[in-house]
Amino acid sequence: MSSVRLAFTSDGAMPLSSLAEGAHGVIVDVRQRHGGRPVSAASVERLLSLGVTPGATVTLLQRFPGIVFLCDQTELAVERDVADAVLVRLREIPS
């Protein structure tokens, strides 16, 4: 069985799990369902309570074995399906 994963939405946002390590972005949405897969309401509420909200900045720190990212000043680790529900727009950091 194969699966197809959406890399970008029509507005240029992508799942947090699709970012490269070290990439920076801004959260545009946290969805309870992404790509047809449901994410528990408790997981979404937990993310929101930890500051993973639209407008927050993120940096992807690690992709394997779990997704580890920095959201503002909080380091979080989540499962891949939860990271798929966080939509991010890439952001360039000036040197």
Check residue 12 and give its pLDDT.
83
Q: CB burial class (10 A; 0-12, 13-18, 19+) of residue 9?
A: middle
What CATH number should be reported for the domain whose range is 14-90?
Answer: 2.30.30.90
* Alpha carbons 45 and 40: distance in angstroms, whole number: 9
Residue 14 pLDDT > 80, yes or no?
A: yes
Check residue 33 and give its pLDDT.
66
If one compares 92 and 2, the residue with the highest pLDDT of the two is: 92
**Domain edges within the chain:** 14-90
Q: What is the pLDDT of residues 20-69, one digit of tens each?
A: 999 999 999 998 865 566 788 888 899 999 999 999 999 999 999 999 99
Check residue 69 and give its pLDDT.
98
Check residue 94 and give its pLDDT.
60
